[in-house]
Chain A
Amino acid sequence: MHDRRADATASPIARLIEAFHRLPGIGPKSAQRLAYHVLRAPEEEARTLAAALIEVKERVRLCERCFNVSHQSPCSICLDPSRDRTVICVVEEPLDVLAIERTRGYGGLFHVLHGVISPADGVGPEDVKIAELLARLRDVDTEVHEVIVATNPNLEGEATAMYLARLLQPLGVRVTRLARGLPAGADLEYADDLTLGRAIEFRQEVR
């Protein structure tokens, strides 16, 4: 067996398999299936895929207001006149914007931090887009009354949320945090103490 690693001398098909294999969540079997699918597909399909790959690297940038990834700046969400400009939802990553948009339950603006405070990983408050959020809220034209902190419900997400709450308090904006509780389909027996404790603390009326 020769080295499967993609180098210039490897066959084109081996290089394609290796390139797919590097993608998150793609094992060696899936990488092979994808590569042979491309091989059998019409040339047009391969060209469309290749062009989309190049375009995403060349044209996608960060929105100057919310720092979400977009092909334009300001992004379509920031420019959308139908969105509620009094609320900003703060998330860790662009994928979190997609997740919240999928719920169709939120119509306000976003702010993407591009990370979360995590001293163990060398990430401090100035390494994420917190100063940029403050600048948005200090802007004379701001209409924001509420900031919803939607960082992940783990230690780093919690520390970041508490830090934001402290920073934003002098600005007079309401700071809220996503409700925490048991995930759908969870089993009480396996729930950790912190989650179960909060689920009890933030219990709701049965209607």
Chain B
Amino acid sequence: MPARVPRVIKTEALVLRHRRLGDADRIVTFLTPGRGKRDAVAKGVLRPRSKLAGHLEPATRVEVVLAHGRTLDIVTQAQTLDAFGGLHEDLDRLSTAMYLAEMADRFTIEQEDTGDLYALLHAALLRITRGDGLHLVTRSFELALLDAAGFRPEWRHCIGCGAAVSAEAIAWSALGGGLVCPACRPAHPDAAALDAATLKVLRAIQDGPYEQAARIRLTPPLAAALERVMHRLVESVAERELTGQRFITEARRAGMAATAAAERDAGAAR
């Protein structure tokens, strides 16, 4: 006999994703504070009169009651606690939230301990909602998530020999997960140069606290350099590019084109 499982649990949760099941049902993936990541079936949720509808959207914080089912748990009640309304005001915020949820889902295994990932994701969604800089929120979440998942990148010492890395010749390896010194660099064919300013910010974000790192002024080139490093790192751990990264980039590009067009039109009108 397997260990007895409680028949009903009531928990708050962040909704990571949902996928359709049959005509009117959905499988919803929840991230919970104490019970890790869990899938559950929301029956009839696609019917317009469903009491669950609208309370199980990704990137919302909900309170749910899950009943233990034969194959999958069943959502019996759901109530939105926080819809993070500010996320929906702007596509860059929304695409960032989608990327964070995708990462949280990708880097966890169902029903396994997810540590303080719930608190990390919740904090990140609140920061996006209140209008914090998206680059800093995202980099801070990526570094903390990699740490929680056992892939903490090394930004102080060489991953090969443990020597402190001097400020003159800094290189890093995405596959190795951190800095490499000149002597160890040949052993890491993917190693690339890293400038001192980028490294300084990576360390500040990793060391925290967030509020202190948030005081750093990220110029656009610095923000872009940080994004390139973290994308390569996340990609090498996930062993593929995350779709959310691509969507953020495409959405930003479309935004810049739209702004340029608007400015051109305004210029023509003058």
Contact = CB atoms under 8 A, between A and B. Distances in A.
A124 B250 CA distance: 9
Interface string B236-270: 00000011101100110011011011100000000
Given A119-B98, A194-B83, A184 B250 contact: no
Interface string A127-169: 0000000000000000000000000001110110011001101
A197 to B, nearest CB: 7
Contacts of A24: 22-23
A6 to B, nearest CB: 19
Contacts of B94: 155, 158-159, 162
A117 B260 CA distance: 24
Interface stretch (A40-48, A69-77, A185-193): A185-193
Contact of B246 (A124, A154, A191, A197): A124
Chain B contact-residue range equals 35 or more
Contacts of A192: 53-55, 57, 80, 83
A107 interface: no
A52 interface: no
* Residue from A124, A154, A183, A187 whose CB has the most chain B CB atoms within 10 Å: A124
Contact of A167 (B17, B51, B254, B260): B254
Contacts of A156: 58
A183 B261 CA distance: 37
B16 interface: yes
Contacts of A167: 254, 257-258
A123 B243 contact: yes
B216 to A, nearest CB: 27
A81 interface: no
Nearest to B24: A25
B19 A183 contact: no
* Residue from B83, B242, B247 whose CB has the most chain A CB atoms within 10 Å: B247
A121 B105 CA distance: 10
Given A158-B88, A185-B48, A166 B261 contact: no
A163 B98 CA distance: 13
Interface string A107-120: 00000000001111
A160 to B, nearest CB: 10
A32 interface: no
B118 interface: no
Nearest to A25: B23
B133 to A, nearest CB: 20
Interface in B105-154: 105
B243 A184 contact: no
A200 B71 CA distance: 40
B16 A120 contact: yes
A163 B243 contact: no
Interface of A: 24-25, 117-125, 154-156, 158-159, 162-163, 166-167, 169-170, 183-187, 190-195, 197
